[in-house]
Amino acid sequence: MEFKERILTAMNHEEPDRVPTMGLILDQSTVNQVLGLDTVDIVGMLRNPETKDVVVQMMSDESSRFTNYYQVHCGVQESAIKLGFDANWSLYAAYMQLVQDPQTPIGYVFHDAFGRVWEFTSDEKGNMLLNYTRPLCETEEQWEEWVESKSAFIDKVIGEVGVFHKKVVEDFGDRIMPIGYAAPGVFENCWQPIGFVNFTKLIFEKPDFIKRVIKFHTDLYLRYLEQVMDSDVEIVLTGDDLAQKTGPMLRPQMIEDLFGESYRRVAEAIHKKNKKMIFHSCGNIYQLLDKFIEWGFDGILTLEPTAGVDLGKVREHVGHNLVLVGNLDVSYLLVRGTRQEIEDAVKKALRDAARGGGYILSTSHSHSAVDANRLRWMVEASHQYGNYPLIS
């Protein structure tokens, strides 16, 4: 069975020849490790007065924003292919613009199209990391102004999303199955540009404004999704972290009241195009499992063990109403774990979730300390122990 059929069979809750694997490759450190590339210390160059201007010019060049990002993403897909994954997520994240910010140590930050500030740091090897740090639209007025002033840029980004996913499928689709990641999702696009504390206050104090924000972002997200789906991507990954370490960020009924219709519309739009939908949420999602089924999701990704999520318990709860993707630990196992520990974890995941299909083996997330050799061991263990019918 070839990779695409393997993934689609599992997505239909049938047993393929073996349990499929999906990569969450994204970080430059992983790409460098797999492809043997040298680290480019962009943050260091931004700090260095001699190189700063050149780097700023390069990072601000609107005409090469798409091309530069695509080139980096090619390394992502090549790495996932080299590691032996059947699929890999494919994310267009070049929706940011470099902006001067004297309050930060480097003097520059990214502002994204939706109203977030992203700051730079680097990992211990010098690879650039980006973190969402603060909102740009803390009041209703600031939000209105932002949305209006950025509408042309948002339109441009949405157009680029379509081109990006088409190109990824054309260039890599014969060697790996790109999973079209449409992120950030509606929930994150609503609260992060406003900030969680402010967003919460506004839910209670200005509910009509919040409903307007949600409607705006749902409509926008559906346009974004259409672009992803216009490529030959067959599975769409939608992304929103609805939970944190101990449970949902909002009361499940509040999520239903505010976002339920949005998620139903998203699932319907994807199914209308005969595509499958996997939903990404970090955190402890137990209390939302029934909602995920009710909203029409086909599968869920991360199943984060550091948030106490047990794969077997999730399978027991959802049965074969949801495809499960992920759960392998990235806090220790795929950073420093031994080969034996990784094999044991793979065997446990297969035992917990893979019977009857409906499980795609994957890490629970990506980050720059995840070790490429350990990812390879994970894939190899799936080849060794993941052949159907499963033995133990």
Residue 99 binds to another protein (criterion: CB under 8 A): no
Q: Are strands 96-100 and 177-182 parallel, antiparallel or unpaired?
A: unpaired
Quick count: other Cβ atoms within 10 Å of Cβ 291?
19
**Tell me, what amino acid is at 267?**
A
The least CB distance from residue 194 to another protein, in Å, is: 13
| 211 contributes a contact to another protein by CB under 8 A | no
Write out the DSSP string of 160-192. Answer: HHHHHHHHHHHHHTTTSEEEEEE-S-HHHHHHT
Residues 247-266 close enough to bind another protein by CB under 8 A: 247-251, 254
Pairing between strand 323-326 and 299-302?
A: parallel
Structure tokens given for 161 = 């999303």
Stretch in the footprint of another protein (CB under 8 A) among 89-97, 130-138, 295-303, 349-357: 130-138
Q: Are 362 and 326 in contact (CB under 8 A)?
A: yes
Q: Which two tokens stand for residue 187?
A: 């929930």
- Give the nearer residue to another protein in terms of CB position, either 90 or 302: 302
When asked if residue 309 is in the footprint of another protein (CB under 8 A), the reply is no
Distance CA(359)–CA(380), nearest Å, equals: 17
47 binds another protein per the rule CB under 8 A: no
CB of 384 to another protein, least distance (A): 27
Q: Is 133 in the site for another protein (CB under 8 A)?
A: yes
Closest CA to 110 of 126, 91, 97, 101: 97
Report the residue number, 362 or 368, with the smaller CB distance to another protein: 368
Among positions 24, 76, 213, 307, the unique one binding another protein when judged by CB under 8 A:
307
Determine if 328 is a binding residue for another protein (CB under 8 A): no
121 binds another protein (CB under 8 A): yes
Output the smallest distance, CB 297 to another protein, in A: 21
Least CB distance to another protein at residue 385 (A): 26
Residue 248 pairs with which residues in a beta bridge?
243
By CB under 8 A, is residue 140 in contact with another protein?
A: no
In the chain, at which residue ranges do the beta strands (DSSP E only) sit?
A: 22-23, 87-91, 96-100, 108-112, 116-122, 128-135, 177-182, 235-239, 243-244, 247-248, 276-281, 299-302, 323-326, 359-360
Among 60, 306, 321, 387, binds another protein (CB under 8 A): 306
* CA–CA distance, 148 with 126 (Å, rounded to integer): 37
In angstroms, what is the minimal distance from the CB of 120 to another protein? 9
What is the nearest approach in angstroms of another protein to the Cβ of residue 123? 6
User: Which lies closer to another protein via its Cβ, residue 1 or residue 93?
Assistant: 93
Q: How far is the CB of 29 from another protein (least distance, A)?
A: 9
**Cβ closest to another protein, residue 134 vs residue 223:** 134
Of 119, 145, 257, 380, the one binding another protein by CB under 8 A? 119
Number of chain positions touching another protein (CB under 8 A): 34
Contact code string over 350-389 relative to another protein, x by CB under 8 A: -----------------xxx--------------------
Does the CA dihedral 251-257-262-265 come out positive or negative?
positive
Residue 193 CB neighbour total at 10 angstroms: 29
Q: Work out which of 41, 101, 123, 144 binds another protein, going by CB under 8 A.
A: 123
Report cis status (omega within 30 of 0) of the bond before 193.
no
Tally of helices (H runs) and strands (E runs) in the chain: 16, 14
Interacting residue ranges for another protein, rule: CB under 8 A: 105, 119, 121, 123-124, 131-134, 196-197, 200-201, 203-205, 244-251, 254, 282, 306-307, 330-331, 335, 367-369
